[in-house]
Amino acid sequence: MATQQIAPAINAWDVAQRQFDLAAERLNLSRGLRKVLREPKRELTVHFPVKMDDGSVQVFTGYRVQHNLSRGPAKGGIRYHQDVTLDEVKALAMWMTWKCAVVGIPFGGGKGGVIVDPKQLSQRELEGLTRRFATEISIIIGPEKDIPAPDVNTNAQTMAWIMDTYSMHVGYTSPAVVTGKPIALGGSEGRNEATAQGAVYTIVEAARHLGMDLRNCRVAVQGFGNAGSIAALLMAAVGSRIVAVSDTTGAIYKPDGFDPKSVLAWKQEHRSVVGFPGTSTISNSELLELDCDILIPAALENQITAANADRIKAKIVAEAANGPTTPEADEILHRNDKFVIPDILCNAGGVTVSYFEWVQDLDRDFWTIDHVNEKLRAIMTRAFASTLDMSLKEGVHMRTAAYLLAVQRVADATSLRGLYP
């Protein structure tokens, strides 16, 4: 009897490096510069104890990676997840470097993570873990060095604990050390919605380019967390029909659409989108392959691969998540005339408004939500136009175009600064 072959796991760091290599080759970067940009500048691994509610002590492992600081301090989220790996954090840090560069904000890429299932911890245990992790990485973070933000399973409260811990260490209140904070502690209006809002701004531009009327579009959203749920609400607000959403428990589908606000209320009550009245239950993988016009992957990495890319039916794939599509899948989607808005462009709204928050904290001058969204729209539409122009000029798909823009900007900054000493 033949044994079933199990597909090897896809390594996010390998994907990130291959994406960089494609752009570096096309840009004809020097061998030395490629070596510099291909690796992180700094990787910090920490193992730290936390006292649990039952009096026992557990040791957790966490990471903070800084990829490139040529264009400014490192910027990137901290995620709490049981499957966090150093390679994943390295990939996310590199993607942050390109993301900041493609939208033209003066940051380099950073990322952090702790190997933990936060759902198994009490609020007090979460606070203890966060404060101890912040203490361990305090040697490399700071308003002018490395500015963390929320990511998977972290939020404004997490950032408040990190800000307070860092402030206790330095002896004064330092709101600019993190972004994504509560408004009461120097957070920015619009930060919570920023990733989804930025993604929708790029979807609007893509639909305009392709001659699609968003009022007639069917939308499927994989991942109904912060970015995915708000993206669904915003897409419904422009008249699109939300036909499917998913979370970690499964997915729901209704061909003639449903109200995402009602689904959000259902999820808050039942801790799952599954079972929402009038919908059928499908798998996360089935959601990706639905007959729809716009697919918004807003979950984790490596969701669209060589195994399923040929079955993607959506005309626009808007990557609200980081790294949802592998390089092999990119080629298949491009060949099948699918328009991918790459993650480093599509979900850059979050880091853009994080930049706004950092500026506001440093200036002690805070903006209205209308001012934030006006500036965000200007940056996202300009970045989309630049990427589309590069795509058409070079005859490449949008991801390669975004990488060509971003890598060239970082390469220029790195070259101009030179090597020290």
Active-site residue list: 111
CA separation, residue 10 to residues 41, 42, 109, 251, 302 (Å): 23, 23, 22, 23, 7
Q: Which residues of 240-265 are buried (b: 16+ CB within 10 A; e: fewer)?
A: bbbbbbbbeebbbbbeeebebeebbe
**Could you tell me if 298 and 223 are in contact, meaning their C-beta atoms sit under 8 angstroms apart?**
yes
Residue 393 and residue 203: Cα distance in Å, rounded?
21
Neighbours of 284 (CB within 10 A): 16
**For residue 299, what are its two tokens?**
């979950």
As a three-state string, the secondary structure of 291-359 is CCCEEEECCCCCCECCCCHHHCCCCEEECCCCCCECHHHHHHHHHCCCEEECHHHHCCHHHHHHHHHHH
Neighbours of 374 (CB within 10 A): 11
Residue 198 and residue 345: Cα distance in Å, rounded?
9
CA separation, residue 263 to residues 32, 155, 351 (Å): 52, 21, 27
* Amino acid in position 248: T
Residue 353 and residue 355: Cα distance in Å, rounded?
5
Residue 239 phi, psi (nearest 5): 105, 0
> Is the previous residue joined to 260 through a cis bond, with omega within 30 degrees of 0?
no
List of residues 6+ apart from 155 with CB closer than 8 A: 180
**Could you tell me if 189 and 339 are in contact, meaning their C-beta atoms sit under 8 angstroms apart?**
no
Residue 76 phi, psi (nearest 5): 170, 160
DSSP 14: H
